[in-house]
Structure 1
């Protein structure tokens, strides 16, 4: 039986992390934010919203 090969991927170092950060900055400069974290139409849930849904949940959905 043969032993599994060691993973050839080197462990991340400070230099490789810095290179990755620089690569991401260059991509952001060229392409900008392709997909923002949130958009203007994303809901902003509040405690009131959760309470309303719990109070108005149909009986067949448990509760």
Structure 2
């Protein structure tokens, strides 16, 4: 008997869990923290650890 796609996904999720999200980060509408623009957030993440915040 051949299982359908949803049966296979359910079986695999029972064994391995749901490791991957259904959507990627660029598909989700995630707002930057503290009212920063996306470019401000990117720039802040590029600062080396020894320079502090």
**Higher alpha-carbon Rg:** 1
TM-score by length of 1: 0.33
TM-score, structure 2 normalization:
0.37
